[in-house]
Amino acid sequence: MIRKRLLQLSLLLVLIIIVVSLIPGGARPQTPLRAVHEHLLAYGAVAFWFALLLKGMGARVALIAGLSALAGVLELVQLVVPGREGQWIDFHYSTAGAVLGGLGGALLAELARRVSRSLRR
């Protein structure tokens, strides 16, 4: 039950990325970071969180591919959003964030699994 709720929370994080990506340029929240770093951190954090919750490498690979595809679609849609522009560099940083976050989450999940198993012995 808890895992299901955490996965639902994760979907909320993805929804936040979608909404912020499609807000017209003048209304977009500003951070002190460069746009590419925002992409890297946002997709990295979401992928890390999901990778901790998902079971199996196949699910994690699908997660990374899905986030990368989402990034590509959002960059294309931004071409028609006032004050926004889709950029390849943003897509690349989003994908890099998804890969790094997904790998980091998978590694931490595997480490936790091994520690848990060794403590049960």
Report the phi/psi class of residue 28: left, alpha or beta, with left for phi > 0 and alpha for psi in -120 to 50.
beta
Q: Is residue 27 part of a domain?
A: no
Residue 26 lies in a domain: no
pLDDT of residue 111: 94
Would residue 116 count as lying in a domain? yes
pTM, two decimals, is 0.90
pLDDT value for 95: 98
Task: Report how far residue 42's alpha carbon sits from residue 57's, in angstroms, rounded to the nearest whole number.
Answer: 22
Residue reference for tokens 């969180």: 49
In a domain, 103, yes or no: yes
pLDDT for 100: 98
DSSP E strands in the chain: the ranges are none
Q: How many domains are contained in the chain?
A: 1
Structural domain contains residue 4: no
User: Would the pLDDT of 49 be above 90?
Assistant: yes
Residue 45 lies in a domain: yes
Q: Does some domain include residue 2?
A: no
Q: 45, 103 in Cβ contact below 8 A?
A: no
In this prediction, residue 28 carries a pLDDT of 80
Q: How far is it, in rounded angstroms, from Cα 87 to Cα 19?
A: 17
Written as six digits, the tokens of 71 are 């990034």
Are the C-beta atoms of 93 and 44 separated by less than 8 Å? no
- Domain range spanning residue 100? 34-120
